[in-house]
Homo-oligomer: A and B are copies of this chain.
Amino acid sequence: MDRERTERPMEPGLVQSVDRAARILELLSEQPAMGVSEVSRELGVHRSTAFRLLATLEARNLVEQVDVRGDYRLGLGVLRMAGALTARSDLTRDAQACCDEMAGRLNETMNVSIFDADAAVTITQASGDQMIGVARQYVGQRVPLHATSTGKLLLAHAGLSEQQRVLTAPLERFTASTIVEPAQLAAELERVRERGWATAVAEWEEGTNAVAVPVRGAGGAVIAALSVTAPSYRLPESGFEDVVAALREGADDLGARSGYLRPESAAH
């Protein structure tokens, strides 16, 4: 159900209170609003500690209280950082337009993701207008490389060292269909490279399928992945090939503008 419980004790050499503050921001990215007590319970600290952390974040506009003596939520200061971040590259902006357009055509949830260290990061998302769809907000979310269509696609075109690292580390299981055997994953990656697109059939979330195609920038390198996600009854395996054609169009449009975000994303 909740798939992020990083209750690690924090590596030494880091600043404890800053780490806790950052975790608060993470929490507030998942839940729309939280009270002081709720935060303190989640962090495992005293209420007063959580309060002071929140008060500090509030002074810098990173969080705000919905009203006096009320819950806290993310503040508008976040916008400034987000603006500065997206201003750095055209890809984010172009990807948003691409997602919006494709979501209108396919009427399903679209994602554009990029490779980052040990995960695929969704940089853009647009939803179809169907009642049943992808509920969660995935923008900025780090999803595993071995259990999602975008993850597998990006990993298949990443550097060998990156692939080795994922293949040697234990593969976490999320559903009954999740690939957890390294050999099986290696074969899957090979197939992804051959046919030029990747899938995820209930491997990350039960009852949910996804298809991803590469976005190629100047020089032909894979700079991102464009994907569709939908309930399995609306996107069955038999329909994958049809979607791929549509996806390719969008991905080529996006790639043609050859936006780039992290030139060193493959390097380490």
Binding site for B on A (CB under 8 A): 10-11, 13-15, 17-19, 21-23, 25-26, 28-30, 32, 52-53, 55-57, 59-62, 66-67, 73-74, 76-85, 87-88, 116, 121-123, 125, 137-142, 264, 267
Contact = CB atoms under 8 A, between A and B. Distances in A.
B82 A81 contact: yes
A85 B79 CA distance: 8
B140 A60 contact: no
A57 B267 CA distance: 21
A53 B22 CA distance: 11
A30 to B, nearest CB: 7
Nearest to A141: B80
Nearest to A31: B84
Contacts of A29: 80-81, 83-84
Closest 5 CB pairs of A and B: A80-B140, A83-B139, A79-B140, A82-B82, A22-B60
Contact of A140 (B11, B28, B32, B81): B81
A77 B30 CA distance: 12
Nearest to A264: B67
A250 to B, nearest CB: 18
Contacts of A125: 83
Contact of A85 (B56, B59, B78): B78
Nearest to A261: B76
Given A57-B22, A84-B29, A84-B137, A14 B79 contact: no
Given A76-B116, A84-B29, A56 B140 contact: no
A60 B138 contact: no
Contacts of A79: 82, 85, 121-123, 139-140
A14 B74 contact: no
A200 B83 CA distance: 24
Given A85-B74, A264-B66, A139 B14 contact: no
A21 B19 CA distance: 10
A23 B138 CA distance: 27
